[in-house]
Structure 1
Amino acid sequence: MKFKRYIVLLIILNIVLVILSIYSILLGTIPIKSGELFNYLLKGTTGNIIKDKIIGILRLPRTIGAITAGMAIALAGVLMQGYFRNPLADPYLMGVASGASLGTVLYIFTSTLFKFGIPHNIYGFIISAYIGSIITMYIVINIAKIVKQLSTLLICGLMIGAVVSGLTTIVIYLNSYFSGENHNLSSYLVWEMGSVSNLTWDMIILMAIIIFPVSVITYIFLSKKLDAYLLGEYYALSVGIDTKYLRKWLIILSCILTATVVAFTGPIAFIGVICPIIARLICGTSKHVYVIPIAMLLGAIFLVFADILTRPGVLIPLSSNPLPLLCPLSIVGAPIAIFIYLKTRKGTINE
């Protein structure tokens, strides 16, 4: 890939992301004018206290959180596709995101069940999500050692995700029964389908502290190793790469990225499978030094756009209720995933 083309792609995608982010902040039940937004960014106020709070407490965190989460899930998809060496590996489709969800919900449930209490904090959410995602990933990896066909592995991953999602729903209902707080049930179910609307600055800062160093480390230390590994394990060994060590870090880093996002937003579907593939197609190469930044930008763009579509009245006119992220992500992502699978079967798309 020519470097000039890569720079042009970066510029175009950044422009698209900025435009979508501005529109995301302006759009809502109480509209914000572009002039008011620029006054807020430059002067710290729109001149209206209510609109200042809407921008600073609700929409800015929501938009920045969507950008951060989208980048993380897209990168997790790149790492998982690199590990399995196929374009349909994805934290959501392989059940890893569902495992992180189950870990988080179990953490909440234990605090309700045991009256002496386990204190809730954002660190507990993340650690429980890590444990759930790593356990699920371990199961998928062991199945992958037995199953060689991509289609069978994908079906197994989907089934594991379905089982884990079912267990999560059971735990949510039990939590509602034991706590006697039925209003929590609907909020948990909405969270399980993905949402960035409840993110706070504390959550976003913690997400960024974890996600961005992991992204930089991955880009600097794993890009070339992933290129070699995609050419085959024997080739990677021949150029001096410890493939067992590489695979271990691919698992750890992808689980960290996925679990960190899921702990606060719920599972994010299809971003991890479609963004790396589109990145490879528009880059015209599989070299990760180009693919990783482009995939992360695409992840941010897709998630901000999906979040815009969830706003009341956007997809469903006159509606006053927001949609979960799973709705637009599934509508857009599932057909693309089917297309990728069919092309993979024909051998026209590969790593």
Structure 2
Amino acid sequence: MIQATGTHLFSVPLPLEEGELLGNPQVAWETYGEPSDGKAVVVLHDLSHSHRALGPEEDGAYRPSGWGRALVGAGLALDPEFTPVVVPGLLGSPFGTTSPASVDPATGERWGLSLPPLTVLDMARGVSATLRALGLKQVRALVGVGLGGLVALRLAALFPELAGGVVALGSARALPEGVREKLGLSWQLLRADPDFREGLYGPDAMPRKTMRRLRLDFLKLLYGREHLASVHPDAEAARLALEAEADAFADTFDPVSWATLCSAYAGCDVADCFQHIRARVLLMAGATDALAPANRVRDTYHLLSAAGVSARFLELPGPGDHGALLSDADRLHGPLSDFLRRC
């Protein structure tokens, strides 16, 4: 499989939704297969993932890369030999794309709190500019997971001729209110941590305790008791596994980047753009997904249909937690392959 990694450096500032300009941003990307205009599928990652969908292998308990191994590969739903894949990073993600953790080229210093607020619309604009830089004016489909699903829907509305189809996996029009409130507290909790130092923490003195707490709270949204019981021998083993991931996350993920991404996710409701979508849409939901409950995804399907969008809703069989949506290649293959044949 041909695989390439690169970074798109913007030659001009990016206008942001809240009115500011983001000076000379960059978007990291990875491709599998040989993308060509009209043929490629764009895959958009979730909140704490990177653009490196197939790896490399990571040793730690928190693994931001490699999340797409059940989705992209030979014989899978997205086989790069027949369906080349592009995975761009989302603005705010601290894995090579412009985020608070990256360096402001104008000052040579880390962006930190100086980075303007980012929204899902800004992420969509960053993706569209990257696709144009790669020579892709049209793509076969946009496939987004969680936060990436909201970006895919917003992108399809922003550029109605860009994609023939949109697949939103584990995404509704917006997060449930309780989840939005929980994610929205990230800034408040971090600012209350003495180690946050108004965003001027160093790499060896981050607000680790608060980041660990925030990750544990988020993991409880990703995984329910039923799923944890299915992959761990007992409750104590599950607890230790979650704590190990939270520890690794706190050592890895930039705190201001996490709060920035959480704010964008919590503040997004894409229902106002449905009337502009011309692509076919497939909404795929897990039965026990706390971030995108099946009934909320079904309501999103009804709103899309009412706006004149050719939409389909599918509740996936098997493990239904958000964190398990990409764990079973077999259940993804049929619905995605069938949908892509129509795009």
User: Greater strand percent: which structure?
Assistant: 2
Is the helix fraction higher in 1 or 2?
A: 1
Per chain length, whose mean CA-contact separation is higher, i.e. which structure has more relative contact order (CA < 8 Å, sep 6+)? 1
- The answer, yes or no, to whether TM exceeds 0.5 is no
The two structures have a TM-score, normalised by structure 2, of 0.28
